[in-house]
Amino acid sequence: MNDIAVLGAGMHPWGKWGRSFIGYGTAAARAALADAGLDWTDVGSIVGADTMRCGYPGYVAGATFAQALGWQGARVTSVYAACASGAQAIGTARAQILAGLADVVLVVGADATPKGFLAPSGRERPDDPDWLRFRVLGATNPAYFALYARRRMALYGDTPEDFAQVKVKNAAAGALNPLARYRTRVTAEEVAASAVVADPLRLLDICATSDGGAALVLSSMDFARRHGRPDPVRVRAVSTVSPTYPKSVLDLPDIATDSAAVVSPAPHGFRASIARAAYEEAGVGPEDLSLAEVYDLSTALELEWYEDIGLCGTGEGAKLLREGVTALGGRLPVNTSGGLASFGEAVPAQAIAQVCELTWQLRGTAGDRQVPGARVGITANQGLFGHGSAVVAVR
């Protein structure tokens, strides 16, 4: 096994604080270092997950955080992969540790988001699929989420009531999380009464944009043992795979599918392939999971992830939800943190925050939202432009 140890996990609370992403990331980094019982000078490398909305420092997040913490000569790396940025930062740190380039790596992601939905920034870019889906289709993120919801309704019989129950479930978990932005339980009736944003999705079906930061201190297993941590939470797999040709189902930001006239479609879609690669690398399967953290950009998309990470068959996500399997206290809780429904979206931080939640759950320190006996967890999300993101952590 190519395990690495998670020695520390830290976060800055999510919200709309009106400050620089640098402050959020630095606070999260210091919390993670304190959790690990290490000093910043013990770190041999820092990997920053970039935010592309905050000016020049956003493009060099690793160096930005290194400077804010105090120059001390550590290796520095910056990565950007949309919503998968945090997973790629973890993957980069893992590679450095396994290659012997550093014993201890600090991974940091933070963002300060604009009000409203996220949109392309800067000049016109007609060769950019994300720019094109806004300009050609008018497909803002809420419209994109609504298309997925409509597809599920047409193919599988999912209902707006099913989508509302995802929000109810995640809000209940978020109410128990002191780091979440939204800590109020909601009812299905309150979801149904909220404003329609992109039919059939309502305001409470869609995640907000937020400020926030998250950080992890990762190390080699030898370093962990030498420093009195013989049985730490371990990262066992990081999947950052790309799609396989041909893509026969439309998946924005692309506005057309590949031609499959002479090539058979892949047996699994892109998101399903992300989790399958993680399971294969980790030597585990969905049946081994204790919990999962998935990217609930909308309530309907969470149901899609149940199927993509192998918790149930295609079209059976709503059934799993109705049976209470994925709620706190269920057989396999999903989004015990409260998910994006409770945090909002801080793009470079969220995949790291997902691993923070797995870490606390696998340590048994998640408080009122603790999954009893948690041993194996997976995170999953998708960065636009074909960036996979899944991490398997074990104890």
pLDDT digits (tens, 9 = 90+) for 131-183: 888 888 888 889 989 999 999 999 999 999 999 999 999 999 999 999 999 99
Which of 129-133, 275-279, 374-378 is least confident?
129-133
Mean pLDDT of the chain: 94
At 120 the pLDDT is 74
Q: What is the mean pLDDT of residues 273-285?
A: 97
Q: What is the pLDDT of residues 221-267, one digit of tens each?
A: 999 999 999 999 999 999 999 998 888 887 777 888 887 777 887 78
pLDDT of residue 52 exceeding 90: no
Give mean pLDDT, residues 271-298: 97
Task: Using pLDDT thresholds of 50, 70 and 90, give the confidence band for residue 353.
Answer: very high
Residue 49 clears pLDDT 90, i.e. is over it: yes
pLDDT-based confidence at residue 1 (cuts at 50, 70, 90): confident
- Peptide bond just before 265 cis, omega within 30 deg: no
Q: Which uninterrupted H or E stretch holds 388? A: strand 387-394
pLDDT score recorded for residue 332 = 98
> 4-116+211-234 has which CATH code?
3.40.47.10
- Do the beta carbons of residue 148 and residue 305 sit within 8 Å? no
**Domains of the chain by residue range:** 4-116+211-234, 129-207+236-394
Residue 94: predicted pLDDT? 98
53 has a pLDDT exceeding 80: no
pLDDT in tens, 14-33: 999 999 999 999 999 999 99
**Which of the two residues, 42 and 117, has the higher pLDDT score?**
42
Query: What pLDDT, on the 0 to 100 scale, is given for residue 248?
Result: 80
Split at pLDDT 50, 70, 90, the class of 381 is very high
Q: Once rounded to an integer, what is the mean pLDDT over residues 323-333? A: 98
Cβ atoms 283, 135 nearer than 8 A: no
> Taking 80 as the threshold, does the pLDDT of residue 59 lie above it?
no
Q: Are 297 and 149 in contact (CB under 8 A)?
A: no
Asked whether 358 and 293 are in contact (CB, 8 A), the reply is: yes
Count CB neighbours of 281 within 10 A: 16
Mean pLDDT of 315-331: 98
Q: What confidence category does residue 57 fall into, taking pLDDT thresholds of 50, 70 and 90?
A: low
Given this chain, do its domains 4-116+211-234 and 129-207+236-394 carry the same CATH topology? yes
Band the pLDDT of 368: cuts 50, 70, 90.
very high
Per-residue pLDDT at 226: 96
The pLDDT, as a whole number, for residue 273 is: 95
The class (CATH top level) of 129-207+236-394 is: alpha beta
**Residue 337 confidence (pLDDT) above 90:** yes
Of 58 and 143, the structure prediction assigns the larger pLDDT to 143
74: number of Cβ within 10 Å: 20
pLDDT beyond 80 at 11 = yes
Which residues have a Cβ under 8 Å from the Cβ of 292 and sit 6 or more positions away? 305, 309, 311, 332, 333, 334, 335, 377, 378, 379, 380
**Stretch 92-106: mean pLDDT, rounded?**
98
Q: Which residue has the higher pLDDT, 122 or 3?
A: 3
Least confident of 255-259, 344-348, 355-359, 360-364: 255-259
Per-residue pLDDT at 58: 59
The CB-based long-range contact list for 220-227 (8 Å cut-off, 24+ gap) reads 220/4, 220/5, 220/97, 220/98, 220/103, 221/3, 221/4, 221/5, 222/103, 223/5, 223/103, 223/104, 224/5, 224/7, 227/7, 227/37
